[in-house]
Structure 1
């Protein structure tokens, strides 16, 4: 039955048709705009699989440019503005250019392009501030550190579910070391803006009781650095001597209170030098943005020390000798887990040492280094007199070289093992004289300990009530004994020319392998710059 134009049902039908017509006429352009936006997003995101996956999962709808995304945009811009505070390359994120692009985006296509650009900048910044600007191994082959990179897609997914400001606050390392480095960076930037520590000391060396203009310059510089209270003395007196000692301790120098050549070189380094070291240390700290272990062992190669840390507090410390500066002997940087110690160890001479050092020695004199044994592939000891060493080269030398346990063993009386492909470990040594030296880079790469027994007692204290008695009972047998650690301990071989203490002066060390210089150059190439902040 046809509806009469005057019936209520007909009127309702026509009202519906009119509403549909209005709806279609309004949404068609909007739909076209959304289609153009999505096409622009899909096209721009195609170059990055993680960004593409993120937008595909949300049907290419706007994330940063949506009407309700003000808090996300604001948090991102604020975080990017703070990039220099973390020693990051601000130009890499170009926050002003991003804002200009956002402001100029008047068409759906332009909004789609800037939408993806914001995601790209967000991902770049998030990774940089959390795990570093550089890839360590590309800067130096001996930096073997495995950076704890997060999945890039997870940054976007987690940010979408998080409070925007809280998300950005959670990205940088939460270690006390990083927080103190950020504070030191700000202090140095302010010093740089106000002229630094003043004039350099115009002398190669100074000693107690000396007087004159150079002593005054030394006095003024020590005051500016915070090692000496204000004084008008013009003589290298007891207070200046004590200040020099404190400076030496803070810079890894022998604390004799005499401003000799090495001390004067460090005293005359400028604020800019120290700021570079701090910026590099911050980058290094980002590479290690992961739990270190409630108990862990920390070996700082530049400081020539090995430490046992418990809950970020120093439990034990000993001097160490690290790899020599020759390119094939430098100690690498990496983290692993110490699983056991070997008391009365046999020294299995590494292949590289056997063929580079001992084979030429045996070719000159078959009886040289008589404390070493030749062992064939079946584990049998071979008489030197039965071997024609001249017939062998580094490639075809068929023997292993071993040194049995004993006082003269190159590994001393105990070694600490964290099995790794670099064949690096911590150990005792009969060469005790090297620990008295200021720069202790002499080994083939392994870490020698000045107090290995005490180090062992500290580790064993977690699993026996009498660690010293237990250790000595194994040692006195003279037999090689493997002692597993009930709780394996993480080991971190690090390289820091700038590091902090919870209390006291900032610590600086010399760049013995030149690694930090290479890292700074790479950071500078990436856009990291020194800032002088004027009050």
Structure 2
């Protein structure tokens, strides 16, 4: 046992000596070999050059088609002390190339316009040796191109023109100078949705892409509609059905063409989907009216999408940021109530007829009136009521009307033109929303019958939602006030924004594009303005 311990001790001493020997050699090696210090490479930061401010004015004299952009371009360079913005150490920077590519593809933004001095711009990107005055000219060209792009893609037609077209929704006011600073730092932001543009714009942009693909494939053929066509219904057989199947397949209402001439359940599902997307009552009958709608050519659908992309440019994205708001779209004859970003009510509406157009504007609902009087507007009194009184002296009594303070008003009751409730959002157009005793009108596809005000198919539901968070009102109290026959006005504790718009094409949350009749005939005029710019 003793000898074993002695051997283990000797073995441990050997290991210890070996370790000390290696450590000593390592120290000697380090002292013998000198390791050079790492070389520090000084990278010179690129500092943009400056240019003579007096060169700005002559540029816009030389290129007069860009003159309207001079104020924005001049302000931009004053802000940046006349430093070059579009060049880096390698030449034209990344954002310059991205902007040029976008400007060459304005058709993807629903615009058929030519960039001013296109050939000159193209030459800039082919000549990499710009110096001196030519470099300054390239600089000013690119800044002008940026503001030209922002004006056309983000702002759209000027305020004066849109008002002449009956658009009184407030136009957004923004400067894209700050946006340019961000884009120069991070060009990839240019491919992301612009925050000040209504999100619907980008949905329509995708729809435009899809319909242009359909157009490239030949679109669709006209369905041959018989002169004395009877409505088709499920179970019917007809060679006409073969054409309908092919048509619905192209726009996605049918997923496959069974090539059957029978109006079966698959075709019915496609027909209902088509009707929902085109402003028709989603029933099972197919009439010549529906087939005529299917025959609207693809290039017309593309034009409609482009027109509504333009309208989206006029609306601020802040519209959808309110906690609650109501939107009425005239061509679709619908009211939509949004609360906390969610749709809480969808109702059919009746809008003004062609001679009494409902205005496109915004207001703030601040009052609800139960069992309202209808104060007959002067023009209706002059054109309708007074002639009726002249023919029948008993006209006022028969219609629950009376003279009051030099005017005619209709008392609350079942015959009252405003029904049981009225929603007030003060405006210069004297337009409001209300109930109506003429419920049958809501069953029609085309619902432009009023003198300009908006009749709501679900007024009780709207009243309940408007007053939902008000402790003064229960559903029972609302019902009682609506049926009491005594006018009661109530000022809302929470005001609700109301937006009345005019969109003949819209993309829903499922990505389905909808088309509606141009009830006031406004699309063609707008299209002509867009195509002429």
Provide TM-score, normalisation by structure 1.
Answer: 0.78
Alignment of 1:134-213 (within 5 A): 135=159, 137-138=161-162, 140-151=164-175, 158-159=181-182, 162-166=185-189, 169-171=192-194, 175-203=198-226, 205=229, 207-208=232-233, 209-213=235-239
Q: How far did residue 159 of structure 1 move?
A: 4.8
Q: Does 1:91 align with 2:114?
A: yes
Residues 159/357 of structure 1: CA separation in 2 closer, same or farther (3 Å cut): farther
Q: Does 1:459 align with 2:466?
A: yes
**Number of the residue aligned with 2:136:** 112
**Aligned residues of 1:131 and 1:289 also touching (Cα < 8 A):** no
**Number of the residue aligned with 2:433:** 426
Please give the secondary structure, in 2, of the residue aligned with 1:73: helix
Alignment of 1:374-393 (within 5 A): 374-376=403-405
**Aligned residues of 1:87 and 1:282 also touching (Cα < 8 A):** yes
Unmatched segments (≥5 aa) in structure 2: 1-48, 62-66
Query: 1:400 aligned to 398, 407, 418, which one?
Result: 407
**Number of the residue aligned with 2:452:** 445
Residues 248/109 of structure 1: CA separation in 2 closer, same or farther (3 Å cut): same
Q: Does 1:71 align with 2:94?
A: yes
Please give the secondary structure, in 2, of the residue aligned with 1:482: strand
Query: 1:130 aligned to 151, 154, 161, which one?
Result: 154
**Number of the residue aligned with 1:308:** 337
Give me the whole-angstrom Cα distance separating, in 2, the residues matched to 1:148 and 1:446.
Answer: 26
Q: Please say which of residues 407-416 and 82-91 is displaced more in the overlay.
A: 82-91
Q: How many residues end up aligned between the 2 structures?
A: 468
Q: How far did residue 134 of structure 1 move?
A: 5.6
Please give the secondary structure, in 2, of the residue aligned with 1:336: strand
**Aligned residues of 2:225 and 2:288 also touching (Cα < 8 A):** no
Q: Please say which of residues 114-123 and 174-183 is displaced more in the overlay.
A: 174-183
**Number of the residue aligned with 1:219:** 245
Q: Does 1:50 align with 2:72?
A: yes
Give me the whole-angstrom Cα distance separating, in 2, the residues matched to 1:423 and 1:42.
Answer: 48
Please give the secondary structure, in 2, of the residue aligned with 1:514: coil
**Aligned residues of 2:103 and 2:115 also touching (Cα < 8 A):** no
Give me the whole-angstrom Cα distance separating, in 1, the residues matched to 2:192 and 2:475.
Answer: 46
Give me the whole-angstrom Cα distance separating, in 2, the residues matched to 1:463 and 1:155.
Answer: 42
Unmatched segments (≥5 aa) in structure 1: 1-32, 377-398, 527-535
* Cα RMSD (Å): 3.0
Q: Does 1:41 align with 2:56?
A: yes
Higher Rg of the two aligned structures: 2
Q: How far did residue 410 of structure 1 move?
A: 1.5
Alignment of 1:236-315 (within 5 A): 236-292=263-319, 293-315=322-344
Give me the whole-angstrom Cα distance separating, in 1, the residues matched to 2:510 and 2:162.
Answer: 35
Provide TM-score, normalisation by structure 2.
Answer: 0.79
Please give the secondary structure, in 2, of the residue aligned with 1:53: helix
Give me the whole-angstrom Cα distance separating, in 2, the residues matched to 1:241 and 1:103.
Answer: 57
Q: Please say which of residues 421-430 and 286-295 is displaced more in the overlay.
A: 286-295
